[in-house]
Structure 1
């Protein structure tokens, strides 16, 4: 009976996000409350299982803490670069002062796709959204482009182990090789291009950016280089020595603070530590609530039930619907449950599963870290405004999945 009530709380949390515009209650508050309540009920009814429940809660909180610290580090960098106008100035040097809205949507999608292939989804989303918000786009076009950014970021991460955690998990489990994963960039690129075309239908007109002369200070240049260097070091150290990304980013952040203290002699400018206060803590609290609820679902065996259901059907269909399911359940524990179930899959089927769990979360705005960040950064992007584009997202996801199956089967058959 308790398990059913806990699942009801998870559904209630989802409804609170869906109807946020009606209730006017911040989703961070409702998800955090329901996530904490769910775990408290688990403890109250634990009996002799209390030590096990406590251990699993500590594991859940450790995962959340790592994500929190990583988000805090990345968002502080972006907050500084935004406040100083560095991102806006860099964009003005890359993009023309006047550009067609359709071309801009395609350019931003391509930028997000490439960036997310080489760095984490959080950084790629924040930088891509900063790029989007630097243009004075109409509301409808701005929402469409944000939807495109989320899908592009999730798509770009599937082809390299540096881009998506689930891709890395499947690779480390020995099911695919790096050269085989590179095949996924083809369906990722095609599906993003198709979605960009679908969303840009009817979009007309040009958009301009305010051209301002920005004289880069020595401090701004150095911190920009620290940020870029931190992204590169995160990938290199993780691949070569297994250094957790959060540790590298915290090192980069502390370097930023030290450099700022040494070079920032102007007492009228804010101290570097002040930029931590400028990040969106609503985003962090929302993550906390969502991941507590996902941890609860894992604790009561819902994810294992999904893994058992996966094994009962044809892997090609199961992987497709596993991707759809990742729009409701965090793809990391879902992938972990599937790996634990040890399904008997061919390399082509493992590649299809990798694409599905990496991209499927894009179908709903709450289905991926990119979507949650975007929803928290853009007040106009809500569950319902995103849901409006679910048909186009489903078409792009399905097309990408089918291309993945065809391409991987064809090439693996040729190479033996």
Structure 2
């Protein structure tokens, strides 16, 4: 790593991250400015911005988000989110912590199969609806759901985008992830439910009058068009099955999402203005800029140098290697967004695995890498796609969540869950 390019890339990325964290300038303006500056200075070739698989915009993520945003935009027209909000309020009897647990369970249970980004897109509108009914601040519930989605999504191959990258690179199957990742994910989620009781305790203000009012509401009356809802649910079921079988169908999740969006629009007859109004355009643009920023670090050799230093420091001690992958991936993934981070570091891990003395030891490094990257996604507000999407939805509904409001909970959650995950790696593999 020689010359001015790596230094320039680090400086631009660091300044941009500080500006995002301080929120002095809108985050979209920051990433676009930083991405443009990296391209203008030649830190990554112009074509790589649009076409490079590892150093440019990840169009698979962008179109996955776009497709699911359109699907959610159509479904929203049926009134089902208001219905589910009333249902959740009644099931929880208006008790804030009970409501939080209910929403987290739904989120964590759906994330391994729908992927965590899709899940928060579906659950967040429900959360905002029920919080409005109960006069509760939505931000703590949305933050908890994003954190729960990143934990729950770690359980399967399709639950978290980094797992898809790791699975493809390492040749790991859906069942491999279930066997190795789901046991610790269940433990971590239960632990997080307990932690949430204390982390968000100031938000648990019970309003008996509002709770009673919610108990009297008729959820069925919220459904505006039952025939449309039925058609939408059929399409959503097909999309869910497509996600689960994407490796068998040889279709990328983004293609399935776009096909589902097209079919949803076709069968619904909803006007383009209505469903496109629900697309989080600022979130999509933010991701594009963020991918280019990280691409600058990849193209100038910064990420590769970090991986090389790690390999040299580890030597032949594979428990140290696993430890470095768990904690190092959590720390780095929290700052670089775990999707481009995993894409950049996967070849480094592959080199480590190739030098391992036996297949089990080599495979343990992949699981260490996955756990660190997935759980590190909770580290900051920009560490995972689900976090960025939740913040975008909150802002669109007049419930803004600041970088630090999210991150103060995310850091604690990451520190605890990553430490427990490291213990799991040690007990199971070493």
Change (3 A) 1:337 1:310: farther
Contiguous gaps of at least 5 residues in structure 1: 47-52, 262-269, 411-416
Q: Return the match for 1:157 from 153, 158, 163.
A: 153
| Deviation (angstroms), 1:83 | 3.8
The answer to which of 90-99 and 32-41 deviates more is 90-99
TM-score if structure 1 supplies the norm length? 0.85
Superposed, which structure 2 residues align to 1:4-403 within 5 Å?
4-20=7-23, 23=24, 25-42=25-42, 53-60=45-52, 63-93=57-87, 96=90, 98-136=93-131, 142-174=138-170, 176=172, 178-182=174-178, 183-201=180-198, 202-203=201-202, 204-206=204-206, 208=211, 210=214, 211-212=217-218, 213-215=221-223, 216-236=225-245, 238-261=246-269, 271-272=271-272, 274-311=274-311, 312-313=313-314, 314-319=320-325, 320-341=327-348, 342-344=351-353, 345=356, 346=361, 347-379=363-395, 380-403=400-423
The answer to which of 397-406 and 222-231 deviates more is 397-406
1:132-182 alpha-carbon deviations (Å, 9 max, x no partner): 212227898633322221221111222211212322333333465544422
SS in 2 for 1:96: helix
Cα contact 1:326–1:357 (8 A) shared by 2: yes
| Deviation (angstroms), 1:272 | 4.2
Superposed CA RMSD:
2.6
Give the distance between the partners of 1:231 and 1:106, measured in 2 at CA: 24
| Deviation (angstroms), 1:40 | 1.5
Contiguous gaps of at least 5 residues in structure 2: 315-319
1:170-228 alpha-carbon deviations (Å, 9 max, x no partner): 33334655444223222222222222322322354446474242344212221232123
Give the distance between the partners of 1:178 and 1:396, measured in 2 at CA: 26
SS in 2 for 1:367: coil
Change (3 A) 1:65 1:169: closer
Cα contact 2:49–2:57 (8 A) shared by 1: no
Change (3 A) 1:115 1:105: same
Give the distance between the partners of 1:28 and 1:402, measured in 2 at CA: 35
Give the distance between the partners of 2:157 and 2:128, measured in 1 at CA: 29
Give the distance between the partners of 1:296 and 1:150, measured in 2 at CA: 28
| Deviation (angstroms), 1:323 | 1.8
Paired positions, count: 390
1:288-329 alpha-carbon deviations (Å, 9 max, x no partner): 111110111111111112211331232132112222210111
Cα contact 1:349–1:405 (8 A) shared by 2: no
Give the distance between the partners of 1:140 and 1:366, measured in 2 at CA: 25
| Deviation (angstroms), 1:376 | 1.5
Give the distance between the partners of 1:139 and 1:348, measured in 2 at CA: 47
Cα contact 2:131–2:137 (8 A) shared by 1: no
